[in-house]
Chain A
């Protein structure tokens, strides 16, 4: 099946710094990617939807200036957490779909972010 890869799988950063998480579709063109956030032992919350070449659409309550999403190519979307704070520590998961299989969604393995 199709593969979505996230990097890094785990990252620790200092408060106030920015950290970038990459989401790559390895064997298909991801026209749309989704970013989710999951707090420990909680559910996944959709943060934003990004279409290649367009600005991301953020869900209500998600700060677009804090969580910068770039989907510059059909195989890569990045999530940058700017001026990170300890409360940003979370599990971030991306998913992707392709135009050819519009109803099939593939999830990445997730990225653990710890802000100290």
Chain B
């Protein structure tokens, strides 16, 4: 069965500092990997995704993530955070059972707090 682990429930970062959110996955085949951001009471916004190819993926809002197969990781990074980045971040994994992307398995999320 597939699973996603986000080991950090909360992370506090000073504005302007760099950020790395960890994500480890378990999946039996080549995974599709996603990072989403969710503001309180809102839906999900896709930050970036990895299907194949270059293992360093660029996303929106200055985020990037690197797929490391040997470590089963897909960590999210940003060189300099802004106060507006404070939100809940979810890593998700899925696959393709033949008809297209399957439903996703989400991690439990990491709550990002930005200190002034």
B22-39: which have CB < 8 Å to A? 32, 34, 36
B20 is an interface residue with CB less than 8 A from chain A:
no
Interface size range of chain B in the complex:
20 to 34
Min Cβ gap B2→A in Å is 11
B53 is an interface residue with CB less than 8 A from chain A:
no
Contact partner of B109 among A43, A51, A97, CB < 8 A? Answer: A43
Contacts of B58 in A (CB 8 A): none
A15-58: which have CB < 8 Å to B? 31-32, 34, 36, 42-46, 49, 51
A93 — nearest CB in chain B belongs to which residue? Answer: B43
Contact partner of B104 among A42, A105, A108, A110, CB < 8 A? Answer: A105
- Residue interface bits A83-112, CB-to-B below 8 A is 1, else 0: 000000000010101010011110111101
A47 — nearest CB in chain B belongs to which residue? Answer: B103
**Bound Cα distance from A109 to B44, whole angstroms:** 7
Q: Contacts A99-B100, A103-B51 hold; do A109 and B105 have CB atoms under 8 A apart? A: no
Residues of B at the A interface (CB closer than 8 Å) are: 32, 34, 36, 41-44, 46, 51, 90, 92, 94, 96, 99-109
